[in-house]
Chains A and B, each alone.
Chain A
Amino acid sequence: MTDKIVIEALSLTYSDGVESLRNISMGVRENAVTVLFGPAGGGKSTLLRCLNRLNDLTEIRASAGRILIDGENILDPKTDVIALRRKVGMVFARPVVLPMSIRQNLTYGLELAGEKRKSRLDEAVERSLKLAAIWDEIKDRLDDPAIALSGGQQQRVCLARVLALQPEIILLDEPTSGLDPISTGKVEAALLELKKEYTVILVPHSVQQAARAADFAAFFLQGELVEYGEGKSIFTMPKEKRTEDYVTGRFG
């Protein structure tokens, strides 16, 4: 197994000079679920948004370091961010379905890239909905407004919308934070399937979810990567006192 993503000595800074991440180095394995966990404000989401350069929309900039995806430094100003974002898909905490039909939500990204052939679009809709484990539930109402779906269904449609672009890496930023346990279970089950084909990076909404989903886990505390390793060992035998205190619920 190889590292799909290599983060080297990365520091992120707000425009006012405050650091949000300090000197982070880690590799992210292909075909595995890597979990970034820790209390709020630790820099997990910010790191996630670096990987598809979504931070370009904000005041946060990398002040040092590199992020290599397949060996290419994506922080390079010459990077084609549009191609990058198709390769590195993202699912957000709150499901954001676009104000259009379910089908149009799923084909949106492909159409942006100029795909017009109906057969290709239809094929992508079916494939991605099956991957996101929601095809059977909604296949008969693909032309209904996406907003009419339940929250859990919307979030899986959002996941399918990312999958329709056939990305290589999927970033999930607390994707189940607004969902009931049953919907959460469905999303987590979908992730287990997805890691066979994709590199998955998840910011979980609880330590329990982190422990359930993680092949690898990285513990972030106030902008620092405290501990990183296999999920099994981090949640059962953490090396760092701070990790242990957090995992066992002593703070956070």
Chain B
Amino acid sequence: MMKHLRLNRHLTERLGFVGLTLMALVTVAPIVAVVIYILAQGVPAISWEFLTGLPRDGMRAGGILPAIVGTFYLTIGTAIFSVPLGIAAAIYLSEYAPENSLTRLIRIAIINLAGIPSVVYGLFGMGLFVLFLKFGTSILAASLTLSIMTLPVIISTAEEALRAVPQSFRTVSISLGGTRWQGIQRIVLPQALPGILTGVILGLERAAGETAPILFTGAAFFLPRLPNSPFDATMALPYHLFVISTQVPEMPPQIQYGTALVLMAFVLGMNLIATTIRSRARARRQW
């Protein structure tokens, strides 16, 4: 009886190990599949003209430069609003906020903000920025909308990065006659910076890839020139991909996959930067 039980335990352990390993591998499969598929389909479309030219022939030929530039502008615009605000909020929450009902309210708001579907942000942005503040369908309105969507990601990752800096550094700084802010500025922020940057990039990466929030606030269906003011509407890669995949008849599929490839490269490139920053900082960390 005992022997039987022991065998069973070893068998269970073995099966469990094999099963869990398989399941972990299964989670990797879709990502690899997507990347390979988009690469295979998209690479033939990539050419100098595709990357630097204007769309021609009802977007069925030519390049996607306005969409690339538009996504770049939207990402920068989002960063301009969300990064300072997000980092400031994170510093307040991590370094200054007392534990009271106001702070709890702020935290609950941030968590819920992160859970709102992106199309709702789009509608809200149209109401507030496009119509009420009269920014029109513009890079400005779309950037502000994307900023609101990105803020929770930036705030929560930045707060986490700040909290990871040992409390003892702050205490020592204060015991040496420093103000709270001097300790934050000279020690806590520099130490948390790689973590904060990682969060910023991950947040912006999400903003760069979103379609719904810019749908009503800044994205142009077709604009065969580059935007030249924050009040211009703009083409953008994710929305362009949606348009050429659903709205344009007789679209050559390779242009769709080429656009998808460029968008994916943009987003994965940002991801790579974030990962590099993080691993470099870990290697250099002095605590």
Residues in A lying within 8 Å of B, measured CB to CB: 52, 54, 57, 82-83, 85-86, 89-90, 92, 94, 96, 98-100, 108-109, 112-113, 145-147, 161-162, 165
Task: Report the separation of the CA atoms of residues A238 and B195 in the bound assembly, to the nearest whole angstrom.
Answer: 56
Task: Report the separation of the CA atoms of residues A96 and B169 in the bound assembly, to the nearest whole angstrom.
Answer: 7
Closest residue of A by beta carbon distance from B180: A57
CB distance from B65 to the nearest CB of A (A): 44
> Would you call A86 and B177 a contact (CB within 8 A)?
yes
Residues of the A chain whose Cβ atoms lie less than 8 Å from the Cβ of B287? 99, 147
> Would you call A98 and B174 a contact (CB within 8 A)?
no
Among B167-185, those with CB < 8 Å from A are 168-169, 171-179, 182
Task: Report the separation of the CA atoms of residues A70 and B51 in the bound assembly, to the nearest whole angstrom.
Answer: 75
Task: Report the separation of the CA atoms of residues A57 and B180 in the bound assembly, to the nearest whole angstrom.
Answer: 10
> Would you call B174 and A109 a contact (CB within 8 A)?
no
> Would you call B178 and A112 a contact (CB within 8 A)?
yes
- CB within 8 Å for A161 and B169 given contacts A99-B286, A145-B286: no
Closest residue of B by beta carbon distance from A146: B286
Task: Report the separation of the CA atoms of residues A85 and B172 in the bound assembly, to the nearest whole angstrom.
Answer: 11
User: Cβ of B187 < 8 Å from any Cβ of A?
Assistant: yes
Residues of the B chain whose Cβ atoms lie less than 8 Å from the Cβ of A108? 173, 176, 186
> Would you call A54 and B175 a contact (CB within 8 A)?
yes
CB distance from B95 to the nearest CB of A (A): 12
Residues of the A chain whose Cβ atoms lie less than 8 Å from the Cβ of B71? none
CB distance from A15 to the nearest CB of B (A): 12
Task: Report the separation of the CA atoms of residues A178 and B111 in the bound assembly, to the nearest whole angstrom.
Answer: 41
CB distance from B215 to the nearest CB of A (A): 45
Residues of the A chain whose Cβ atoms lie less than 8 Å from the Cβ of B138? none
Interface residue count on the B side (C-beta < 8 Å): 19
CB distance from B249 to the nearest CB of A (A): 60
User: Cβ of B191 < 8 Å from any Cβ of A?
Assistant: yes
> Would you call A94 and B168 a contact (CB within 8 A)?
yes
Task: Report the separation of the CA atoms of residues A100 and B191 in the bound assembly, to the nearest whole angstrom.
Answer: 10
Residues of the A chain whose Cβ atoms lie less than 8 Å from the Cβ of B179? 82, 112
Closest residue of A by beta carbon distance from B177: A86
Residues of the A chain whose Cβ atoms lie less than 8 Å from the Cβ of B187? 98-99
> Would you call A54 and B176 a contact (CB within 8 A)?
no
Residues of the B chain whose Cβ atoms lie less than 8 Å from the Cβ of A86? 176-177
> Would you call B182 and A99 a contact (CB within 8 A)?
no
Task: Report the separation of the CA atoms of residues A89 and B174 in the bound assembly, to the nearest whole angstrom.
Answer: 11
Residues of the A chain whose Cβ atoms lie less than 8 Å from the Cβ of B174? 54, 57, 85
Closest residue of A by beta carbon distance from B182: A112
Closest residue of B by beta carbon distance from A109: B176
Partner of A90, one of B169, B175, B182, B191: B175
A-B CB proximity, top 9 nearest: A109-B176, A99-B286, A86-B177, A147-B286, A96-B168, A112-B178, A85-B177, A90-B175, A96-B172
Most buried by A among B166, B173, B177, B191: B177
Closest residue of B by beta carbon distance from A56: B174
> Would you call B286 and A112 a contact (CB within 8 A)?
no
Task: Report the separation of the CA atoms of residues A54 and B191 in the bound assembly, to the nearest whole angstrom.
Answer: 23
- CB within 8 Å for A85 and B171 given contacts A99-B191, A99-B287: no
Please, could you name 26 A-B residue pairs with CB atoms under 8 Å apart, sorted by A? A54-B175, A57-B171, A82-B177, A83-B177, A86-B176, A86-B177, A89-B175, A89-B176, A92-B171, A92-B172, A92-B175, A94-B168, A96-B169, A98-B169, A99-B169, A99-B285, A99-B287, A108-B186, A109-B177, A109-B178, A112-B186, A146-B286, A161-B176, A162-B176, A165-B176, A165-B177
CB distance from B186 to the nearest CB of A (A): 8
> Would you call B168 and A85 a contact (CB within 8 A)?
no
Task: Report the separation of the CA atoms of residues A90 and B182 in the bound assembly, to the nearest whole angstrom.
Answer: 18
Partner of B168, one of A83, A92, A112, A161: A92
Residues of the B chain whose Cβ atoms lie less than 8 Å from the Cβ of A90? 175
Closest residue of B by beta carbon distance from A90: B175
Task: Report the separation of the CA atoms of residues A54 and B172 in the bound assembly, to the nearest whole angstrom.
Answer: 10
Most buried by A among B166, B171, B174, B187: B174
Beyond contacts A54-B174, A82-B179: 6 other A-B pairs, Cβ-Cβ < 8 A, are: A83-B177, A86-B176, A90-B175, A96-B171, A99-B287, A165-B177
